[in-house]
Amino acid sequence: MMTYEELQELAASEVEKQEQHDYCVRVCLAAGCLSLYNDEIKNALEIAVEDRGLGDKVAIKGVGCMGLCAAGPLVSVEPDGVLYERVSVDDAPAIIDALGKDPVEHIHCPLDIPFFERQQKIVLENSGVVDPESIEDYLTRQGYEALMIALTEMSSAEVIDEVVRSGLRGRGGGGYPTGLKWQTVAKAMGDTKYVICNGDEGDPGAFMDRSVLESDPHRIVEGMVIAAYAVGAQKGYIYVRAEYPLAIERLKLALRQARRHGVLGDNILGTGFNFNIEIRLGAGAYVCGEETALMASIEGNRGNPRPRPPYPADHGLWGDSTLINNVETFANIAPIVRNGGDWYASIGTEGSKGTKVFALAGQIQNTGLIEVPMGITLREIVEEIGGGTPGEKAFKAVQTGGPTGGCIPKEYLDVPVDFDSLVELGSIMGSGGMIVMDETSSMLGVARYFMEFCMTESCGKCIPCRVGTAQMFRLLDKITKGQGTMTDLELLEELCDLTKYASLCGLGQSAPNPVLSTLRYFRHEYLEQIIDAPEPVA
Amino acid sequence: MAVRSRIKTLKIDGRDVSGHEDESILDIARENNIYIPTLCQLDGLSIVGACRLCLVEVQGWRKLVPACATYIEEGMEVFTNTERLQNYRRMILELLFSEGNHICAICVSNGNCELQDLAQKLGMDHVRFPNLQPVRTVDMTHERFVVDRNRCVLCARCVRVCDEIEGAHTWDIKGRGVDARVIPDLDIDWGDSPTCTSCGKCVNVCPTGALVVKGQPSGEMIKRQEFLVYLSEIREARNG
Ligand SMILES: Cc1cc2nc3c(=O)[nH]c(=O)nc-3n(C[C@H](O)[C@H](O)[C@H](O)COP(=O)(O)O)c2cc1C
Ligand code: SF4
Ligand code: SF4
Ligand code: FES
């Protein structure tokens, strides 16, 4: 067990150790870049340093995601402030030789571009900077300072108050006010309470949570321990999908380190507070990310949703009050406690505070992970940060909210992005997927694709979703093939309405969104495919 | 310990009614002879809220709620039979009929089927959706019973009665979406099930002709479900 003073000493000696090196070369070892053999580049850099006898001067550090995944493998150099893109093993000697001099030209990635300048990092502040496998490195970045403040200087009610004041809303998709959720769990009766971190992240193409877990796992641990203290929980679970082996490995290591350093387990930081965390692996069913299904899965049952109420705060894991929040939600907690709720609330819009991480994908120049303040416009994201659509093709729509989100056309690009404005546009924030589509994309095809996803991922428990998605998929398929009639279109709209309002859980309730939003903005594309469509009115 | 429960008053379809706080909208409606269609719900089994036929509207609530799974609240105004609900219910039945083989004329449960009754009662007289023609199996390996998955509506009554009342937990649901199906144990032939006690409870609670007694002539399969309520009451009394 360590006291906070000892942790601070550890941090100070780590800083000292790091300052002995004149240069720090960071190599992204998150899954994206790792799949491009960045670990070999790290080896090559180490050899190059060795060959030049620079071992004392240059540190090579494996770090998490730097964001611009499209340009990976990425390597950065401090204090030069240089970023290298599309690095290959052969570039290693040149990178080392250029330390403190002009950067290597052909792989140099300028940092004064909107992709970097328009971002604001809170959740990702450590991503690509700290070594995710070192608690010492995390400590040098004010790690566990918030936990110490919470445990020693604040009552649990005060911690909750800061979260309420921050205006933070859940990042798992629903946007439920986090402070209110914490208050409810804190007030719930019963001595046993649980905290769950939802890291299921089932949206195809989404990797926000994975990236946080891989790049800065201690931040999640810290957020969960603070939450446990605030609501009075003794036991926590992190639910991660089994397809994220690297995230799981780093989390396991982080949990071990946290226990050894006294920030997790019994008598945390000598304050008498006890809290433990276990990892649970999900088998990858999309619906297991839904909170009641997720809890059933942790309990060892089939991951089926059940009706709410009762909500998890009231009747959660094994019937006890349970706080369940998303990975990104927990990632915001330490900075909120450190800097105060008012600081966080100063960022963003009236109804949506702080920043949001998006996974930018599709027909866009700069794909990757970005973090932007709420209230930024879609245009700024797509055209400035994303660099617009590649080639000559014109922008057509941006799809937000994952498989159950909606498509937003170019007329609405100037709308500020927040929970409520996206809903008004017929889409949702979801967990932060953002797919850009150019003029060659068929909106009908998009709707059909996502409906197929929902159909296969429906758990099958309730009839409107189980059969409704299957019938909607058939109708969309028929229309796509040019065999649909106006009656089919009417049936499709009726089914959208039924599935949206009669389904048991969020999957069914939001499965019609892609159809409804494309019908709203691109109805003509449906009509063009329909055999007995009325002539368009001029 | 004396259990104290508060009384709530509410309105269902304009009528003033009252009940205990731990009673559902469905309980109170039935007590007052107000009909709400149900399929997955069965007195004596846990509530799953799966079929969505019992959805009702509550004044001022954004979402429709399942009457079987929603506790009454003071002052709530419930509407059980609006045009919108009638449409939804008919469409849910249409979807069910489009999902399996529900050709009543050749079914042993013809005339004694809850699905058929619902369709008649709610006025579902035609199906606008193509039949999904799923590949589903019939298992006749059990000595006395048959499961015909083509007629299954996935209400999970069999799963619940076997687990909650008989304590055998022979039945489970495997697969997702329209591929979901009831399976004995780890998806073996029913006849080989080491856990099945052949008590026949699943057969009796099954609302359709999916679970039946072997060798019944068409239309003769009559299910008996009264036992459930007695069993649960006896159990409750015993557990004090
Ligand atoms: C079909 C479905 C899938 C979901 N998947 C996820 C997920 O992968 N990750 C997540 O955090 N929340 C997911 N959610 C939302 C959770 O149910 C829950 O609201 C969330 O974890 C609460 O955390 P928050 O308040 O921090 O957002 C999903 C919801 C539905 C209906
Ligand atoms: S809405 Fe779909 S996923 Fe949710 S309970 Fe119903 S069938 Fe299952
Ligand atoms: S076999 Fe009968 S009781 Fe079991 S799920 Fe199917 S319809 Fe319901
Ligand atoms: S009876 Fe209520 S949902 Fe089936």
What mean pLDDT is predicted for residues A495-504?
98
Contact A502 B47 (CB under 8 A): no
Angle at A89 between CA A84 and CA A92, to 5 degrees: 60
A503 lines ligand 2 (CB under 6 A): yes
Per-residue pLDDT at B2: 55
Question: Which domain range does residue B115 map to?
Answer: 95-224
Which chain A residue is nearest to residue B177, measuring alpha carbons?
A460
d(CA A374, CA A305): 30
Per-residue pLDDT at B3: 60
Cross-sheet strand order for the sheet of A355-362: A368-373, A355-362, A433-438, A395-400, A406-409
d(CA A284, CA B118): 37
Q: Is residue B99 part of a domain?
A: yes
For the record, the structure tokens of B20 come out as 């205990």
Per-residue pLDDT at A35: 77
Per-residue pLDDT at A514: 96
B147 shares a domain with B195 = yes
Per-residue pLDDT at B134: 83
Per-residue pLDDT at B224: 82
C-alpha A396, offset from chain centre: 25
B164 shares a domain with B56 = no
Class (C level, CATH) for A135-344: alpha beta
Q: Give the pLDDT band (50/70/90) at residue B187.
A: very high
Per-residue pLDDT at A409: 96
Cross-sheet strand order for the sheet of A58-63: A58-63, A23-28, A75-78, A82-84, A108-109
Q: Give the pLDDT band (50/70/90) at residue A533.
A: confident
Assess contact for A128 and A84: CB atoms under 8 A. no
d(CA A500, CA A494): 10
Q: Give the pLDDT band (50/70/90) at residue A204.
A: confident
B74 shares a domain with B138 = no
Q: Is residue B235 part of a domain?
A: no
Return the residue in B129, B152, B153, B174 with the most chain A beta carbons within 10 A, the one to mutate for interface testing. Answer: B129
d(CA B148, CA B107): 10
- Nearest Cα residue to atom 12 of ligand 1: A172
For the record, the structure tokens of A538 come out as 């001029």
**Any idea what the CATH number is for the domain that residue B101 is in?**
3.30.70.20
Class (C level, CATH) for A21-111: alpha beta
Lowest mean pLDDT among B55-59, B130-134, B214-218: B214-218
The 3-class secondary structure across A512-535, one letter per residue, is CHHHHHHHHHHHHHHHHHCCCCCC
Which residues, 6 or more positions from A487, have their beta carbon under 8 angstroms from its beta carbon?
none
Q: What is the DSSP string of A459-528?
A: -S-SHHHHHHHHHHHHHHHHHHTT---HHHHHHHHHHHHHHHHH-SSHHHHHTTHHHHHHHHHHHHHHHH
Per residue in A51-109, pLDDT tens?
A: 999 999 999 999 998 988 888 899 999 999 999 999 999 999 999 999 999 999 999 99
Contact A504 B154 (CB under 8 A): no
Q: Which residue has the tokens 């030049």?
A: A52
C-beta neighbour count of A242 within 10 angstroms = 11
What mean pLDDT is predicted for residues A496-513?
97
B162 shares a domain with B47 = no
d(CA A239, CA A226): 18
DSSP character for A394? P
Number of structural domains chain B divides into: 2
Handedness of CA A27, A28, A29, A32 (dihedral sign): negative
Distance in angstroms between the alpha carbons of the first and the last residue of chain B: 10
Contact A498 B91 (CB under 8 A): yes
List of chain A residues whose C-beta atoms are within 8 Å of the C-beta of residue B48: 306-307, 461
Q: Give the pLDDT band (50/70/90) at residue A1.
A: low
Per residue in A246-265, pLDDT tens?
A: 999 999 999 999 999 999 99
B103 shares a domain with B62 = no
Q: Is residue B161 part of a domain?
A: yes
d(CA A463, CA B50): 7
What mean pLDDT is predicted for residues B62-80?
97
Whether pLDDT at A37 is above 90? no
Domain end (from B38, B56, B81): B81
d(CA A140, CA A155): 26
Per-residue pLDDT at A100: 92
Angle at A206 between CA A478 and CA A138, to 5 degrees: 175
**Any idea what the CATH number is for the domain that residue B77 is in?**
3.10.20.740
Residue A327 sits at φ, ψ, to 5 deg, of -55, -50
Q: Is residue B229 part of a domain?
A: no
Assess contact for A56 and A19: CB atoms under 8 A. no
Per residue in A284-336, pLDDT tens?
A: 789 999 999 999 999 999 889 999 999 999 999 999 999 999 999 999 999 99
B180 shares a domain with B154 = yes
Q: Interface of chain A against chain B, CB under 8 Å? A: 285, 287, 302, 306-307, 309, 455-464, 466-471, 474, 491, 494-495, 498, 501-504
d(CA A488, CA B129): 9
Assess contact for A312 and A292: CB atoms under 8 A. yes
The closest alpha carbon to B223, from B116, B102, B113, belongs to: B113
Per residue in A169-190, pLDDT tens?
A: 999 988 999 999 999 999 999 9
Per-residue pLDDT at A308: 92
Q: What is the DSSP string of A345-382?
A: HTSB-SSSBSEEEEEEEES-SS-EEEEEETT-BHHIII
Pairing status of strand A235-241 against strand A273-282? parallel
Pairing status of strand B77-79 against strand B171-174? unpaired
What is the ipTM for the molecules in this complex?
0.94
B27 shares a domain with B127 = no
Q: Which residue has the tokens 């966080």?
A: A344
What distances in angstroms separate CA B78 from CA A104, B5, B75, one per listed residue? 71, 21, 10
Per-residue pLDDT at B235: 75
Higher pLDDT, A533 or B125: B125
Per-residue pLDDT at A536: 67
C-beta neighbour count of A69 within 10 angstroms = 25
Per residue in B6-23, pLDDT tens?
A: 899 999 999 999 999 999
Per residue in A110-119, pLDDT tens?
A: 999 999 999 9
B176 shares a domain with B116 = yes
Find out whether the peptide bond into A310 is cis, omega within 30 degrees of 0. Answer: yes
Domain extent listing, chain A: 21-111, 135-344, 363-438, 443-527
Per residue in A419-466, pLDDT tens?
A: 999 999 999 998 899 999 999 999 999 999 999 999 999 999 999 999
A363-438 maps to which CATH number?
A: 3.10.20.600
Q: What is the mean pLDDT of chain A?
A: 94
B172 shares a domain with B69 = no
Q: Give the pLDDT band (50/70/90) at residue A537.
A: low
The closest alpha carbon to A118, from A464, A364, A375, A389, belongs to: A375
Per-residue pLDDT at A31: 80
List of chain A residues whose C-beta atoms are within 8 Å of the C-beta of residue B88: 498, 501-502
A443-527 maps to which CATH number?
A: 1.20.1440.230
What mean pLDDT is predicted for residues A357-367?
93
Per-residue pLDDT at A70: 84
What mean pLDDT is predicted for residues B73-102?
97
Assess contact for A73 and A86: CB atoms under 8 A. yes
What mean pLDDT is predicted for residues A354-378?
95
Helices and strands: H and E segment counts in chain A: 23, 15
List of chain A residues whose C-beta atoms are within 8 Å of the C-beta of residue B118: none
The closest alpha carbon to A441, from A430, A452, A449, belongs to: A449
What mean pLDDT is predicted for residues B34-45?
96
Contact B52 A464 (CB under 8 A): yes
Burial grade of A11 (CB within 10 A; 0-12, 13-18, 19 or more): buried
DSSP character for A90? G
B129 shares a domain with B210 = yes
B213 shares a domain with B167 = yes
B209 shares a domain with B104 = yes
